[in-house]
Amino acid sequence: MAQGSGIEWTHATWNPVTGCTKVSPGCKHCYAERFSKRLQHMGMEKYRNGFRISLHPDSLSDPLRWRSPRMIFVNSMSDLFHPDIEAAFVRQVFDVMVQAHWHIFQVLTKRPEVALSLADKLPWPHNVWLGTSVENRDYIHRIRTLQAVPARLRFLSLEPLLGPLGQFPLKGIHWVIVGGESGPGARLMKPQWVESIRDRCEVRGVPFFFKQWGGVNKKKTGREIGGRTWDDQPAIPMPKELLHA
């Protein structure tokens, strides 16, 4: 487990699985693929297979050893609901999240249909949040699938945002994160796309978190909209250590 994260909406990452495959336009410049290959070239054993799906049973118990409560992004270097990951291993990951009840686990997938197919075989404790990624209106169907999964908290990661979403559904969605693409070859995100999403969230009372404008130099473009940052969090009870982290 990483003892910290540069991702603005989480505190740490945990990768019991690494590797993935591309499923939609948002995957084109996948940071996890780029980083995995870099770590492979550096000789890191965990990434010896590069970006091919690899299970790491030895990493399963990591959150149990981390006693200070954290928000933990699960599989920042993969997708827990990739079809090549056996259901039995997914269940092991969920069992650890149940045991490590003092953490909040943020599971993000581009394959909510797989999560839905496994939903009745998995526990859904209060500390497991499930989200899906949507990059443009062609993938709004992922939101509708997510709405059917019995997670206690459901969130959207609209990143990299590659087009307008229009009137996307928000019923049963508890948090929305928006961000532009960053790094080599970053594609443009237009302000009106972001503002439309923010305004829709405000009308519906859904917390809105703006991660970044992105670009080749994301630090230069920053993360302000109209002179302010948007760091709203879901309005649910959390350990005091998380609220003040």
The three-state (H, E, C) secondary structure of the chain, written as one string? CECCCCCCCCCEEECCEEECCCCCHHHCCCHHHHHHHHHHHCCCHHHCCCCCCEECHHHCCHHHHCCCCCEEEECCCECCCCCCCCHHHHHHHHHHHHHCCCCEEEEEECCHHHHHHHHHHCCCCCCEEEEEECCCHHHCHHHHHHHCCCCCEEEEEECCCCCCCCCCCCCCCCEEEEECCECCCCCCCCHHHHHHHHHHHHHHCCCEEEEECCECCHHHHCCCECCECCECCCCCCCCHHHHCC
The pTM for the full model equals 0.93
pLDDT score, position 9: 87
Query: For 89-132, how does the pLDDT look when each residue is reduced to its tens digit (9 = 90+)?
Result: 999 999 999 999 999 999 999 999 999 999 999 999 999 999 99
pLDDT score, position 241: 56
Angle (CA) 49-52-53 rounded to 5° is 110
% of residues, the chain, pLDDT over 70:
94
Rounded to whole angstroms, the Cα distance separating 19 from 164 reads 29
Nearest to 23 by CA among 107, 79, 74: 79
What is the mean predicted confidence (pLDDT) over 70-93? Answer: 97
What is the residue-averaged pLDDT of the chain? Answer: 94
Rounded to whole angstroms, the Cα distance separating 61 from 141 reads 34
pLDDT score, position 238: 62
pLDDT score, position 129: 98
What is the mean predicted confidence (pLDDT) over 162-188? Answer: 96
pLDDT score, position 87: 98
Domain boundaries, the chain: 12-243
Which residue did the predictor score with more confidence, 9 or 83? 83
Query: For 16-48, how does the pLDDT look when each residue is reduced to its tens digit (9 = 90+)?
Result: 999 999 999 999 999 999 999 999 999 999 999
| Beta carbons of 196 and 44 less than 8 angstroms apart | no
What is the mean predicted confidence (pLDDT) over 178-193? Answer: 95
Which residue did the predictor score with more confidence, 237 or 56? 56
